[in-house]
Every structure is written in C-alpha cells, then in structure tokens.
Amino acid sequence: MDRPFVATLPLILIACSADNATGQNAPASGEKPFKTSIIADFDAPWAMAFLPDGRALVTEKAGEMILFDPKNGTKIPVAGIPAVDSAGQGALMDVVLSPKFAQDRTVYFSFSEARDGGKGVALAKGAFNQASDGTTKLEGVQVIFRATPYVEGNGHYSGRIAFSPDGKYLFFTNGERQKFDPAQDPKATLGKVLRLNLDGTPAAENPLAAKGFHPAVWSYGHRNLLGIAFDKEGRLWEQEMGPKGGDEVNLIKPGLNYGYPKVSNGSHYDGRDIPDHKPGDGYEPPKLWWNPVISPGGLLYYSGDMFPQWKDSLFIGGLSSQALVRVKLNGESASKGDQWDMGARIRDVEQGPDGALWVLEDGGDGSQGRLLKLTPAG
C-alpha cells in the first residue's frame, strides 16, 4: 500500500547522513544548504514539466493539467485531458515533453482510468496548442498504451515516463497494483519497466519477448515504481516504494528480475516475512535501500550548474518521510547523501531551466500543495 498522510510540521530544512550498510537513516545534523521560495499553490499536484519558454505544465491528482507561469503566477487550465479515475492512488500522473517538442509540440502523460474489467494506468499523448486568446489544450489526444491486465483496486499504478538519451524510446513504469504475483507474471505488464517506441508500441528486440514475456517488458519483479531517470552515461535508475520497509533505488538493466514479491528487504504489511535479497538468489538486488522507509515519490537526475556540489546526484521526493533525499552516484554504485526535512509530503522534484530545484508538495490547495523553488543559501 502507499503510505498515508501524516501530521505535517512547519517547514524545516535539516541535512542528515545515512548508514548504507544497514539501510538505517542516521540522526539529523548539518546546516540548511538552500533557501526555499514558495512559488504557487496547487491542489494535490503530482508532476511537472518545464516548457522551453520557462513555463511549466503541472498535473493535479483529480485530473487537471495546468499551464503555470512562474514569472507572474498565471494558471491556465489545459483542455483535452481524458477522464481520470482519481480514487485512492489514482491520478493524472506524469507529464513529460517529447524529445522533439520544439518541432512536434507533443506532450506525453499518464493517468489512471476505469474500463470494463477494472482499472489501470494509461499512457497518452497530444499536441500542445495555445490560441491567441490564451486558451490552451492538448489536441488530438490519443491513448497509446494501456497496462495489462486491468484489475480491481486503487493502488500502485506507478505511471512514470522517461525517454532514452537518444530520444528513440520511451520507458514507462507499471506498478503491480497491490496484487503481488503480477510482478512475476510474464504475460502481465504489471510490476514492470517497459520499453516502447514513441508511438506506444513495444520496442523491437526487448530482452524477454523471446522467452514468452509481454513484448514491452524491459525488467520485472518491481512493486510501485514512482521514479525513473537516465544519468549522463545513459544508465537508467529507478526508485520504488517497498512494502513494510525496503524502499529501493535500482539500476535497471534489460531482462533482469528485481525479485518482488519473492524477495524484498521489507516485509508484508500483515507482518509476514519476505526473504531478504541475498547473493546468489537469482534476483537483482537494489543499489540502495531504506528501513525505516522514506516512501519515495518522484526521481530526478541532477545535471545543473546552480548546485555544482550535487551534480550527477539523484534527488527523491519523500512522502511519509516528508523529506527531500539526495543519492550520490559513482558509476554503477549509489550511496546515501543527504536527507532534508521539508515539513510536508514531497511528491515530485524537478530541475528548472536555470538549474534550480523545484519541489511539489503532496497536499491540497491551501494545505501544503505548494510549489517550492530551492536555490543556494547565502
């Protein structure tokens, strides 16, 4: 299950270190490394993507996409979004620009929907258009991929999107929908990282198709995959929410089985044990894990110049931990860097055009659903 809202605190910014060997978080220490500016307030925002002109598209849980201008605070609803089933963890989810947005104006987004047979996560695209009177819509919207199968329930949709560095492929996450076994089912896309062509069809030569898997599957054995990002060397990093314990950062490689629900460094919520990752068990272990959990939200690979000391780090939004978490990368290795108490559930973190960090809180409008901009302190 996703971890619930907990009581929030005033905004505090504290750095902490962590012990990688045990997966435990160390006591907080250190000074505030950035200043925080409150830019706007949204109603349960989920994700954002910056346009080339500095404006941003922001998705909200209930199904609204908003064109937001940080310079003047203007918010314009974006028409053309399909009906969203936002019960439970359902939402209008990720939003990402096409690699060729300047030419094709295409916006990709994900959302949860109800259809015959149950509910699932869908991937769609449409052309961004703003008329002379300011009205804005996505034109020609079409769903290009749906998870399979659709099932009952309102959890673990995942729905994160990332494009390969060469712009040829789209990677899409499908959560296991709190059903456990589909993560290991070769015919299901649930509990998987998928590799698609830009039109939503399965990419050719995906590594498991010849073994009888759904042809879109790139890796499997995942739980609730709420962040994927490529680093500068083209490595694909993913973070996912574990069960009771065992939140993970994984280095995604083609064809590998990441173990869930056969193995995990957490346990079932009812207290039943899940075997831990062990060398030689046949499953790919996480590069990093947390217990106590951080409840990871969005994932960012930072490549900007505003915070040079953090270049080539991963940033994770923490939900139940109410934190912004930094992960240090060294080739194919990852280690815990910093964890800052943000006083609110953090759903997503993005890099702005100038290299600033932009953070979306998880709450409602007027109740910690804010957009924050982080810049160097001092």
Q: Are 136 and 66 spatial neighbours (Cβ–Cβ below 8 Å)?
A: no
- DSSP symbols for 302-344: ---SSSGGGTTEEEEEETTTTEEEEEEEETTEEEEEEEEE-SS
Structure tokens given for 34: 């950035």
For residue 170, the cross-strand partners are 163, 196
Q: Are 242 and 266 spatial neighbours (Cβ–Cβ below 8 Å)?
A: yes
Separation CA 240–CA 248 (nearest Å) = 5
User: Residue 215: how many CB atoms within 10 A of its CB?
Assistant: 18
Longest dimension (CA), the chain: 62
Structure tokens given for 309: 């000391």
Measured on CA atoms in the order 212, 230, 360, 346, is the torsion positive or negative?
A: positive
Single-letter amino acid, residue 242: G
Separation CA 124–CA 282 (nearest Å) = 35
Q: Could you say which of 156, 214, 222, 277 is catalytic?
A: 156
Separation CA 136–CA 155 (nearest Å) = 31
- Taking alpha carbons only, the member of 250, 249, 248 closest to residue 219 is 250
∠ CA(295), CA(345), CA(3), 5° rounding? Answer: 40
Catalytic-residue membership of 277:
no
Q: State the DSSP H helix or E strand holding residue 58, giving kind and residue range, or none if neither.
A: strand 56-60
What are the catalytic residues? 156
